Structure 1
Amino acid sequence: MSYKNYPMVSRIVFGRGSLNQLSDIIEPKRLNTKAPFIFLVDDVFQGNSWLTSRIPTAYDDTIIFISANEEPKTSQVDELVEQIILSHKDRPSGIIGIGGGTILDLAKAVSIMLTNEGEAKDYQGWDLVKTPAIYHVGIPTISGTGAEVSRTTVLTGPEKKLGINSDYTPFDQVILDPELTKDVPKDQWFYTGMDCYIHCIESLNGTFLNAFSQTYGEKAYDLCKEIFLDNNLSEEESQDKLMMASWHGGMSIAYSQVGVAHAMSYGLSYLLGTKHGIGNCIVFDHLEEFYPEGVKLFKQMKKSHNISLPQGICANLEDYQFDIMIDVALGLVPLWENAIGKHWNQVITREKLKALYQKM
């Protein structure tokens, strides 16, 4: 048997206010004064000097503000790469992503596509990237996706929604500053936090589970229960703990896999553009059959925070649209194999998936 020899983030700094060390961290990585750092920043921070004034730009460094209203697309990656190449003579010294999962995934993808030929869609899949990415740094401003730690970058392409899963995807450096999550709107905090919770449930209940995944998954699961069900935490404690839950949740799936909720939410996202966190919640709400205990606790968390999920998003879809979602979901073979086992396709039929989608 061969075991996966996968890379982890090689350097990480954690602590409130640690964003202030960004200059000291990246400056030694500057190739020369003409090779800029490119900062990809969530556009919710445009005009927010509390954050933007702390971005250490020098020489030809550039800040590109990006909307995270839609899930990241392969075409968006290609456009960013082209923009960066056309506006700078030298290859950048590095890409720094500051934002949620969408921005972090774009930062990972752009850093890969600056050194690999072709288009981003050519690399959707497992281990297709041949050339190491340029130096890239991840700075999450919301916790839960695990994008800061994972070896994938989830992208919607012309044919499918699938990540660039590779050894060159993980960040070279991550800065975990819980203070950056202070202004996250409540519903967004919940949906993204639940992405982390669902990572744990799918990992801990999967057939790929091993002691490595289990230790990370159990820790993240316990933290999620504390954050979303224990009302005694201060806001700061909650921010610190959710940032660590996100990290551990991301690690728990690194050596195993996600499952039914993620597979099906990719279908929603591909067809309807449903954002990842809320999509996972909408799907997970109907998965008692697969994760009875996990769904029961999820409903409790939902109630505790007065969260009501969108209903009937699939109500007016036509058969061909259900087929599109089902095709996307069924294409994610490793997720189904983890969730159900080797003979998953005897259990997971098109009819079964359609019936589940029709409930949403």
Structure 2
Amino acid sequence: MNEKKEIETDTMKARKPFRNFPMVPRVVFGRGSFDQLGDILLARRISIDAPMIYLVDDVFEGTELVGRLPVIFQDQVIFISADEEPSTIQVDTLVARIKTDHSERPSGIIGIGGGTLLDLAKAVSVMLNNKGSAAEYQGWDLVQRPSCYHVGIPTISGTGAEVSRTTVLSGPERKLGINSDYSTFDQVILDPDLTEGVPKDQWFYTGMDCYIHCIESLQGTFLNAFSQSYGDKALQLCREVFLGDLPPEESRDKLMMASWHGGMSIAYSQVGVAHAMSYGLSFILGIRHGLGNCLVFQHLQDYYPEGVAQFHRMMVKHNISLPTGVCAGLTEKELDQIVEIALGMVPLWENALGPDWRSKVSREDLKRIYRKI
């Protein structure tokens, strides 16, 4: 008996460790599909006293979208500004508010908005069922208990937050995601009509988040047939949207699917240099994620020459001008801090440059790039 166990243990150690990631189990796609939300939620309601909590981007406050929310019984709508990146303090505050406002735990959390609202919905659903502060769960596979039921409804395309297991949060010491199997949405509704009217700059920066996902995933050392199949499709769709001349409705459809496929691509691989470096910009300067990626990526021709050249063509086609002098006022201490944050994103550097990545990039290399931004 003991001998058999030893053999099994040795065999398990010899096996290649494949990742066993969850996927979103249910997804609805189509223009007008948002109106199915009421029927979808009805089957998941625990009781009339266990509410559905809607976390909604405050740009929709007072709009017709709010009137379409299937609010019944003790349901609560909380409007949240997406002007700042989501934080662990914000998550803790929301969880405390929900527990105070309701006698029973919610039946579910519904996030409606861009990456900020989707990440908040994932984090809140996790923390409603786990003790302590959200900051304690920043990292990989630290969540111990399943989250409550949660739904993601993107109103802008590009982040891939609707499909990923990551909820990116700025904490008291760092910007790092809650990376957990429990954070993946139970249900996603992809309605391209909800992305109509997004400001052009925001549309571009968020769409470029998806494009950069693809470039980093497809050129990374973690690449495999699974991630490549999704990454190739997402990149193709991004090129059609940002270099082609599609009708608006078709463009919205395709960018929403590019976001989905791009998120799936990095689920089984990883992003790279631009994302690693943008985390520091976000944490220290409060730069939004999509814009931060663009600010860095424009200077990464040494790492992604073809992708960067194509990025510049996309900017010209859509008449996009990136901010300049963003890092001009940084002190040397602040610059060192940003570099430290970037270099702390070890899996991203390993994907970009391989296991010996530390011999291929230096602090001065990163400082030179930041000084150009």
**Smaller-chain TM-score bracket:** over 0.9
- 2:77 aligned counterpart, secondary structure: strand
User: Equivalent of 1:304, from 313, 317, 331?
Assistant: 317
Offset of 1:350 from its aligned partner?
Answer: 1.1
- 1:21 aligned counterpart, secondary structure: helix
User: Equivalent of 1:237, from 227, 232, 250?
Assistant: 250
User: Equivalent of 1:10, from 25, 28, 44?
Assistant: 25
Offset of 1:175 from its aligned partner?
Answer: 0.1
- 1:263 aligned counterpart, secondary structure: helix
Q: TM-score w.r.t. structure 1 length?
A: 0.99
Match of 2:36 in 1: 21
Report whether the alignment pairs 1:279 with 2:292: yes
Which structure's CA Rg is the greater one?
2
Offset of 1:216 from its aligned partner?
Answer: 0.3
- Provide the rounded CA distance (Å) in 1 between the counterparts of 2:358 and 2:126: 34
Q: Deviations 1:142-163 (Å, cap 9, x if unpaired)? A: 0000000000000000111000
Offset of 1:326 from its aligned partner?
Answer: 0.8
Report whether the alignment pairs 1:158 with 2:182: no
Offset of 1:347 from its aligned partner?
Answer: 1.3
Query: For residue 57 of structure 1, what is the amino acid of its counterpart?
Result: V
**Residues 172-321 of structure 1 correspond to what in structure 2 (within 5 A)?**
172-231=186-245, 233-321=246-334
- Provide the rounded CA distance (Å) in 2 between the counterparts of 1:329 and 1:160: 10
Match of 2:107 in 1: 93
Query: For residue 22 of structure 1, what is the amino acid of its counterpart?
Result: L
Match of 1:76 in 2: 90
Runs of 4 or more consecutive aligned structure 1 residues displaced over 3 Å after TM superposition: none
User: Equivalent of 2:61, from 42, 46, 53?
Assistant: 46
User: Equivalent of 2:181, from 140, 163, 167?
Assistant: 167
- Provide the rounded CA distance (Å) in 1 between the counterparts of 2:106 and 2:297: 41
- 1:134 aligned counterpart, secondary structure: coil
- 1:153 aligned counterpart, secondary structure: strand
Offset of 1:183 from its aligned partner?
Answer: 1.1
Q: TM-score w.r.t. structure 2 length?
A: 0.96
- 1:168 aligned counterpart, secondary structure: helix
* Percent identity of equivalent pairs: 67
- Provide the rounded CA distance (Å) in 2 between the counterparts of 1:302 and 1:2: 41
The runs of 5 or more residues in structure 1 that have no matched partner are: none
Offset of 1:327 from its aligned partner?
Answer: 1.1
Match of 2:367 in 1: 354
Match of 1:127 in 2: 141
Q: Deviations 1:98-146 (Å, cap 9, x if unpaired)? A: 0000000000000000000000000000000010000000000000000
- Provide the rounded CA distance (Å) in 2 between the counterparts of 1:307 and 1:355: 24
User: Equivalent of 1:32, from 38, 47, 55?
Assistant: 47
Q: Deviations 1:9-51 (Å, cap 9, x if unpaired)? A: 00000000000000000111000000000000000000112x1
Report whether the alignment pairs 1:108 with 2:157: no
- 2:27 aligned counterpart, secondary structure: strand
Deviates more, 1:318-327 or 1:239-248: 318-327
- Provide the rounded CA distance (Å) in 2 between the counterparts of 1:80 and 1:9: 24
Query: For residue 119 of structure 1, what is the amino acid of its counterpart?
Result: S
RMSD value, Cα: 0.5
Query: For residue 159 of structure 2, what is the amino acid of its counterpart?
Result: T
Q: Deviations 1:56-112 (Å, cap 9, x if unpaired)? A: 000000000000000000000000000000000100000000000000000000000
Match of 2:13 in 1: none
- Provide the rounded CA distance (Å) in 1 between the counterparts of 2:330 and 2:182: 38
Offset of 1:349 from its aligned partner?
Answer: 1.2
